[in-house]
Amino acid sequence: MEMFKLIPACKDYLWGGNRLAAEYGIKYDGDILAEAWLLSCHKDGCSVIEGGEYNGKTLPELIELIGSDFLGANCKGLQDFPILIKFIDAKKPLSIQVHPDDEYALEHENQLGKTEMWYVLDAKEGAFLYQGFSHEIGREEFKERIENNTLEEVLNKVYVKKGDVLFIPPRTLHAIGEGILIAEIQQNSNVTYRIYDYGRVGADGKPRQLHIKESLDVTELTRPEAFSSGAEHLVSCNFFDVDYVDVSDGNTYESVADERSFVSIIAIEGNSVITCRGKSIELKKGESLFVPAASGDFEISGNAQFLITRIPDKIK
C-alpha cells in the first residue's frame, strides 16, 4: 500500500492563536486555530486522506475498508488506534489539568488514559509551563489550594525554548503556558480533567467545567522525576517511539517501515521529498505523512526537520 498525506482535524479552543495557519500552512477558515490533529482516529476529530484513490476518506474509514494490517503487527489486538499527534498553539495559557492512567480512564470514561510527550516548536522569551509540583504536598492541601486559587504557588514552573522535550506521564498535573507552540505525541485519548482555568468562560458565557473530584482521585502530588531526551531519539515508552530527524545541509535520512509498525512523519520545518517504492511525495512544514507498515525502505531528502513516530514492540 502506498504512503499518503493526511489533512488534520482542527480545533478552535478559546486559548488558541493563528500561527498554525499562518506559519505551518494548516488550512482553516476560523479566527482561532488552537490545535491541529495531524494523525488521529479519535471520534472527536479524525485525520482525512489527501490525494490518491482514498482521497477524502477518514483514517478510520480506511481501516474499516481495507483492514488493519497496514498498521503493523504491534497494533494487532488493540481495541483502538494507539496514538494521536497534534500541534498546539497556546496564545493564552491552557487550563491546569491532569490526565488519568488507563485503569482509571477505562473504569470511569470508557476510554484509555493519556501518556504524552511535548516537543517545543517555538516559545516566546520567558515562556514557561507547569509540570507537577515544586515539592510533595498532601491531598488536603491540594484541595484547599484549588478552592482558594493558590494552586500556582506550589507548581513546578519549567521555562522552555525551541527544541525542548518533555515527557508527561498520566497523573502528572500540567499546563502549557502562553506563547508556546508544541507538537504533542500522545495515547489516543481525549480525557482531560480540568483543575483550574483562570476564571475563563466558554462560548456560552459560562465558566468552563472543572473536574475537581476526578483530579483529586488521580493527581500525583509530587515533583516529577527529571527527564532527559536524546538529541535524535527523543522518547521511548510503552506507547510510542519518537525520533527527531534533520536532513538539512545536503543530508538524507534512510529508514524502513517494517512489518511491526506504520511510520508517522510530521514536518516541523522546511520542505522535503519522501521516496518509497519508487514513488515520491513532497512534504512541507506542517504536513503529515503516513507510511504503512511493511512498505519497506524509504528516504527523506531536502532541507527540513521532522518528528518520526513508530509503535513499539512493547505496547500494552
Asked if 4-218 and 236-310 have one fold, the answer is yes
Q: Is the confidence at residue 246, as pLDDT, over 90?
A: yes
Average pLDDT over residues 222-241: 90
Fold of 236-310: Jelly Rolls (2.60.120)
Please tell me the predicted confidence (pLDDT) of residue 14: 92
Task: Give the DSSP per-residue string, the chain.
Answer: ---EEEEPEEE--TTBBSHHHHTT-----SS-B-EEEEE-EETTEE-EEESSTTTT-BHHHHHHHH-SGGG-GGGTT-SS--EEEEEEEESSPPPEEE---HHHHHHHHSS----EEEEEEEE-TT-EEEEEESS---HHHHHHHHHTT-GGGGEEEEE--TT-EEEE-TT--EEPPTTEEEEEEEES----EEEE-TT-B-TTSSBPP--HHHHHHH---SPPPP----SSEEEE-SS-EEEEEE--TT-EEEEEE-TT--EEEEEEEEEEEEEETTEEEEEETT-EEEE-TT-EEEEEEEEEEEEEEE--TT--
Q: Is the confidence at residue 152, as pLDDT, over 60?
A: yes
Q: Is the confidence at residue 208, as pLDDT, over 70?
A: yes
Mean pLDDT estimate for the chain = 94
Catalytic residue among 19, 139, 145, 194: 194
Indicate the pLDDT class of residue 248, thresholds 50, 70 and 90: confident
Among 253, 230, 237, 256, CA closest to 311:
237
Please tell me the predicted confidence (pLDDT) of residue 87: 98
Active site residue 145: no
State what percent of residues in the chain have pLDDT above 70. 99
Question: What residue spans define the domains of the chain?
Answer: 4-218, 236-310
Indicate the pLDDT class of residue 46, thresholds 50, 70 and 90: very high
Indicate the pLDDT class of residue 315, thresholds 50, 70 and 90: low
Q: Is the confidence at residue 316, as pLDDT, over 60?
A: no
Please tell me the predicted confidence (pLDDT) of residue 17: 97
Which residues contact residue 144 at a Cβ distance below 8 angstroms, ignoring those fewer than 6 apart?
Answer: none
User: What is the Cα–Cα distance from 116 to 309, expressed in whole angstroms?
Assistant: 13
Average pLDDT over residues 86-112: 96
User: What is the Cα–Cα distance from 177 to 54, expressed in whole angstroms?
Assistant: 38
Specify the CATH superfamily of domain 4-218: Jelly Rolls (2.60.120.10)
Using one digit for the tens of pLDDT, what is the confidence trace for 3-17?
A: 999 999 999 999 999
Average pLDDT over residues 288-309: 97
